[in-house]
Amino acid sequence: MSGEVVALEGVSASRGELAVLHDVSLTVSHGEIVAVIGPSGSGKSTLLRVILGLIAPTHGQVRLQGAVVSADQRVLVPPEERNLGMVFQDLALWPHLSVRGNLAFALDSRPIDRSQREGRIESMLRRLELLDKRDRLPGSLSGGERQRVALARALVLEPTAILLDEPLTSLDVLLRRQLLDLLGELFAERGTAALYVTHDPREAAQLARRLVVLDHGRIIQTGPLDELRQEPENDFVRALIAEAS
């Protein structure tokens, strides 16, 4: 498919004995930001773990730029070879490494020379206004600064796509809005495909043009916010989207 970056086709997945995703089909195209919204336990994080290659689908397939990377209980391409950026809910920053060290460590597995690596790091820290924090440890930073470090670490890899698992949950409303604006700017500048997972439809509506409503592991409806608001598939979608008003 033209422009397809991430695609799931008929994907079902389990965690242990529990079936979590059921026949999920979804695509994210080059430069597109898609937000997946749904309550806790709806399967949002499992969806990202399947794309990352941390969980094999029990049925269906996952494609990255047209190449099948997981299919029918098999992980065909390991997570470290998928060229995906990830921002976790708890950020997962290395506390013993400086801001610069977190970015450098992320690049260690990439076959790039030292000067190119340093150039990437400096450029990303400058863009995210972190140059003056480059030698600080994550524990000495504010919540918003740590969020920017996690984003910089993901983007410095120049990934095929970036996945974000409720990364702004711990921030206050004003800072959350500011960082959502920054995310939109950064993804637009780089043409980055992004899949943003959240339980908050207001976050989803601010960042993404296309929303995917997930409930009990199934996609209930997908489309722009206005379409979901005007023609909700059911009462669940109606109530969820009402929170974005």
* pLDDT per position as a tens digit, 160-206: 999 999 988 878 888 888 889 999 999 998 889 999 999 988 899 99
DSSP secondary structure of 75-136: ESS-GGGS-EEEE-TT----TTS-HHHHHHHHHTTS---HHHHHHHHHHHHHHTT-GGGTTS
pTM of the model: 0.90
Q: How far is CA 192 from CA 60, 146, 167, 199, in A?
A: 25, 21, 17, 22
More confident residue, 136 or 15: 136
* pLDDT per position as a tens digit, 78-104: 998 999 999 988 888 999 999 999 999
Q: Percent of the chain having pLDDT more than 90?
A: 73
Q: Given a cut of 80, is residue 49 above it in pLDDT?
A: yes
**pLDDT value of residue 140:** 95
Helices (H), 156-199: 173-190
Cβ 18 vs Cβ 45: under 8 Å = no
Cβ 213 vs Cβ 224: under 8 Å = no
User: CA torsion angle for 29, 30, 34, 36 (degrees, to 10)?
Assistant: 70
Section 149-169 average pLDDT: 91
Cβ 63 vs Cβ 237: under 8 Å = no
Q: Given a cut of 50, is residue 23 above it in pLDDT?
A: yes
| Lowest-pLDDT choice from 54-58, 66-70, 198-202 | 198-202
**pLDDT value of residue 117:** 86
Bridge partner list, 87:
164
Q: Given a cut of 80, is residue 109 above it in pLDDT?
A: no
For residues 243 and 245, give the distance between their C-alpha atoms in angstroms, rounded to a whole number. 6
The helix, strand and coil proportions of the chain, stated in percent and rounded to the nearest 5, come to 40, 30, 35
**pLDDT value of residue 1:** 42
